[in-house]
Amino acid sequence: MSQNGNLAGQTSRTKLRLQCIEAFFQHFSSSHPFLPPRHEMLRLLKTYPMHHLESAICFVGSRYLPGAPSASFAEELNSLLLVSSFPREGSTVQALLLFALGLDSDNDQKKASDVLLKAETLALELGMNHQEYAVINSLGSSIYEESLRRTWWELYIVRIMMAGFHQRGTFCPKNIMSTVPLPCEEREFAAGVSLIQILWITNVESNDHSVSCHCIPSRNSRMYLLAVVISTGRHTRTE
């Protein structure tokens, strides 16, 4: 193939990826708002290349574009996340989570559950259930810091969703302690300012099966807390 042909092919692939990313933020991200808003996600991908996460975004976004090669993106993710030595970082958990959601929507429920379990396992190994993780790994962005916190809680949401539809067990090991603040309001997340967490889990206590909560939860936080309570079967204690 000529150099011009190579350049044309590369330009076409780049254009397709951009279209898939746009489709992701237009049609999907509001339903599972754990990644940064579009403007910040694009900035982070440019500043800190995360090819695995970009490919996961393209995979999900491609499902909203007629004729887009979703299977090709799935194979790309297989090689990046399931075959090769993947990066041990929060962005990999996010990519696996998106991959699982896309697979579940394609009715590949067994693989979706396996990929989700991989995301959950890596999250625990990284320590994403601790408040400090998001702060230390924020890439200098308060929005991405919040995104990492949301990723931890999104694991609960998605596991509950899959359990409800497919009768696959919930993600709630009894002795896991979580100090991750619950999500802030969407307008604060989008703006990247005043990301002060109103409500956060201080401990999942195995002795009295309670969740300790501080202050008054925001509307968005109440949704996540309800999901956690449903998944754990535990009551809450407000102090």
Identify whether 229 is part of a domain.
no
pLDDT tens digits for the chain (239 residues)? 555 455 455 678 889 999 999 999 999 998 899 999 999 999 999 999 999 999 999 999 999 999 899 999 999 999 999 887 889 999 999 999 999 999 998 889 899 999 999 999 999 999 999 999 999 999 999 999 999 999 999 998 888 888 777 665 555 555 678 888 888 887 778 776 544 444 444 344 434 433 333 333 444 555 555 555 444 444 333 33
Identify whether 238 is part of a domain.
no
Q: How far apart are CA 183 and CA 218, in angstroms?
A: 8
pTM of the complete model beyond 0.85 = no
The total of other beta-carbon atoms located within 10 Å of residue 53's CB is 26
pLDDT of residue 6: 54
Identify whether 14 is part of a domain.
yes
Identify whether 194 is part of a domain.
no
Identify whether 67 is part of a domain.
yes
Identify whether 221 is part of a domain.
no
Q: How far apart are CA 179 and CA 86, in angstroms?
A: 26
User: Which residues neighbour 188 within 8 Å (Cβ) at sequence distance 6 or greater?
Assistant: 194, 195
Q: Which domain holds residue 58?
A: 3-173
Q: Find tokens 């509001």 and name the residue.
A: 30
Please name which of 186, 192, 180 lies closest in space to residue 155, comparing C-alpha atoms.
Answer: 180
CB 231 within 8 Å of CB 160: yes
Give, as one character, the DSSP assignment of residue 217: P
What token pair was written down for 104?
């579940």
Identify whether 148 is part of a domain.
yes
Identify whether 198 is part of a domain.
no
* Number of structural domains the chain divides into: 1
Beta-ladder partners of 204: 211
**CA geometry: angle 127, 54, 49, nearest 5 deg:** 75
The Cα-based distances of 207 to 102, 189, 210, 233, 234 in angstroms read 38, 35, 8, 14, 12
Runs of H (alpha helix) within 29-169: 38-47, 51-62, 70-77, 90-105, 109-126, 131-136, 142-166
